[in-house]
Structure 1
Amino acid sequence: MEYSEQFEALDPNSIWELKLYVAGHTTRSIRAFENLTQVCEEYLKNQYTIEVIDLLKNPHLAKQDQIIALPTLVRKLPTPIKKVIGDLSNQEKIVVWLEINKVSTNAQ
């Protein structure tokens, strides 16, 4: 399967469920949230949800998505589940990782 063909299976009308795991209200956590929000607003418009999970307040939640480093972004929907670690500052890589190029093109 070619890389571009992977995008065909993603429904342009589906809601994207994203979880961002952070450790407190740090500069790195804030930057990750802002970078993620910017990408989502540009490419997914109103078709996404972001749940921010502070592991300082709820450390037991790290186990459910096997979080080992922070910040970590988990794409729950659409499947398959994907993870990326870091402040999400490279927008191009995030777009490719989330596989939203084809969706954004079709939605416009």
Structure 2
Amino acid sequence: MEPEPFPDFLDPTPADNGPEYVLHLYITGATVNSTRAVRNIKDICEQYLKGRYELLIVDIFQQPELAQQEDLIGVPTLIKLKPGLVRRLVGDLSDRERVLKALGLNAADGAPGHE
């Protein structure tokens, strides 16, 4: 006789709550500003959020319906969905200090700041 499996509520594996940071970057094709924004946010994520983030890059030329849902006022636009309050940054994300502040990060050591 085979042993009965554990019921779901007794599953000993911890629940996967997903990434700590969820970011959406809206761009317009391969323009200079869009390319720069992608490079800048990827650099920041790898330096400060390695293994703790999900980054979705949406080209509004390829997926205009997603851009319409967000009421974008300019592109490139980075939207931080979590943690904390939703934040929007418009531009090429080259002002690293401003981007880190919007993400709630401390530029000195990469540790999360206080929102």
TM-score bracket for the superposition, by shorter chain length: 0.7 to 0.9
The corresponding residue for 1:67 is 72
Question: What amino acid is the match of 2:81?
Answer: K
Give the drift of 1:65: 1.9
CA distance in 2, matches of 1:101, 1:66: 29
Aligned positions, number: 94
CA RMSD of aligned residues (A): 2.1
The corresponding residue for 1:56 is 61
Which among 102, 105, 108 is matched to residue 111 of structure 2? 105
The corresponding residue for 2:34 is 29
The corresponding residue for 2:84 is 79
Percent identical across equivalent pairs? 34
Higher relative contact order (CA 8 A, sep 6+): 1
Give the drift of 1:54: 0.6
* TM-score computed with the length of structure 2 as normaliser: 0.73
SS of alignment partner, residue 26 of structure 2: strand
Question: Which structure's residues are more often helix, by fraction?
Answer: 1
Runs of 5+ unmatched residues, structure 2:
1-18
Give the drift of 1:31: 0.5
CA distance in 2, matches of 1:64, 1:75: 15
* TM-score computed with the length of structure 1 as normaliser: 0.78
What are the superposed Cα offsets for residues 49-78 of structure 1, whole Å, 9 maximum, x if unpaired?
A: 110001011111112222121000000111
Give the drift of 1:92: 1.0
SS of alignment partner, residue 84 of structure 2: coil
Runs of 5+ unmatched residues, structure 1:
1-13
Question: What amino acid is the match of 1:98?
Answer: L
